[in-house]
Structure 1
Amino acid sequence: MRKILLLAFAALALWASQAVADPLKIGVVGAGNVGGTLGTLWAQAGHPVMFSSRHPEQLASLAKAAGPNARAGSVADAVAWADVLVLAVPYGAMPAISEQLKGKLQGKVVFSASNPFSGRDGEVGSQALAEGVAQADQRYLPGAALVRGFNAIGYGAMKSQAQRNVAIPTFADDARARQVGAQLVRDAGFVPVLVPLARANEGLPGGPLGGANSEAQLREKLGL
């Protein structure tokens, strides 16, 4: 029995060390329901997280609830500090975000969980849906290594489905973006399934890749 317990503790220690073996400084731009939930999952997994918005003084309670790995700051603070930026803003804000981040994204991984809606986001949303959300992202975020994920799962499901082998389509072409995107999906408690960026519209709300899918179900939908 003692030997079994020692082996169990060793396994837990190995898992814990692997979970934080490669921590990434994650700057979350937009700390509403989606950004707040994802940032909290990552902070609890061992990543340093900075929640940011136009009003960072309003994020203190969120950062405190997320635990000791979390803090709050301005968008400028997050961009300068982070290894990877996570966008969780209404898509109508993308022109303003683009202007604010101009010249600051060269080579930086940007993980977008932002979705365009024609009703909510007006012409900006309609145009993104028509041209393809990945193309719109790249137009607004020149120089960034882009990955998209968590686009067709609500924040409530992010909380309830974590650690339940739910697969998340993770759209990226750049090798670094694919690596970082897959790590962030895994560390949030989900299973990444890598998909070319050109198919990102399929992963939007109401698209064919939505829902809580197993890896096998998602791969079948993708034709992989």
Structure 2
Amino acid sequence: MTTAIVGVGNIGSAVARHLVAGGETVVLAAKSPAGAEQLADRLGPLAHAASVEDAITEADTVVFAVWLDTMRELLPQVSSRLAGKVVIDPSNPIAFDEQGRMVRSLPAAQSAGSVVAALLPADAHYAKAFGTLAAEALAANANRTPQRAALFYAGDDERAADAVERLIRTAGFDPVRAGGLADAGRIEAPGGDLHQAGFDGEVVTADQARAAVDARR
């Protein structure tokens, strides 16, 4: 199996590093080809760089590790290549005000997941995942002992759910389903009760995560 990671910033590079450490083949793409090539060189033979279009074509699953506004521009350009693919979206509806404070970029009732899902072809398989921890926590908590850290995901598509669970485990975390697409906002920041920020910064275990899914409904 091959996973494409579009975007090699803090989230994308952490996901790529963890997946390669777990034995996954990854193809990296970014606005700056040099950044993707440099990361691929550091990760070794299981990673290589390609254009966004070629990475999507080559992969079974595509992780769009880019800002929501970037995804809004990019997805219509590559939509035809996403037919039949599993698409994983870590985005959060984050913006910054004039004082540099984090604010929501969407109305309270709208999730980034609903925005992204609406931009995909009907036969794409969508799930929201890999955005429930801050980048630093995501980078630092793979294969934690004695209990792995949990990563929440959300989505209605069972093929996507199977793919996401496999990748989360490969990356060194335990997957916990927060619900369907209607629940995507719960695992987004700011405001999501199942995002790391909703746990006051704590990185929870799978048992804690499952309890929170039910208790906080």
TM-score, normalization by structure 2: 0.84
The structure that is helix-richer by fraction is: 1
1:140 to 112, 116, 119: 119
The answer to whether the aligner puts 1:153 opposite 2:137 as a matched pair is no
Q: Which has the higher contact order (CA 8 A, sep 6+)?
A: 2
| Cα distance in 2, alignment partners of residues 115 and 196 from structure 1 | 16
Aligned with 1:101: secondary structure? helix
The answer to whether the aligner puts 1:49 opposite 2:33 as a matched pair is no
Gaps of 5+ in 1: 1-23
Aligned with 1:35: secondary structure? helix
- The answer to whether the Cα contact below 8 Å between 1:116 and 1:129 also exists between their aligned partners in 2 is no
Partner of 1:60: 37
Instruction: Note the alpha carbon deviations across 1:164-221, whole angstroms, 9 max, x for none.
Output: 2111111121111010000011110000012322111010124211231111211111
| Cα distance in 1, alignment partners of residues 75 and 29 from structure 2 | 16
> CA RMSD, aligned part only?
1.8
Shift of 1:70: 0.5
What amino acid is aligned across from residue 215 of structure 1 in structure 2? A
The answer to whether the aligner puts 1:126 opposite 2:105 as a matched pair is yes
Aligned with 2:79: secondary structure? coil
Query: Which is greater in Rg?
Result: 1
Partner of 1:83: 60
Gaps of 5+ in 2: 98-103, 197-202
Give the direction of change, closer, same or farther, for the CA distance of 1:138–1:129 in structure 2 (3 Å limit).
farther
2:174 to 184, 187, 191: 191
Partner of 1:13: none
Query: How many residues were matched structurally?
Result: 197
Q: What percent identity do the matched residue pairs reach?
A: 31
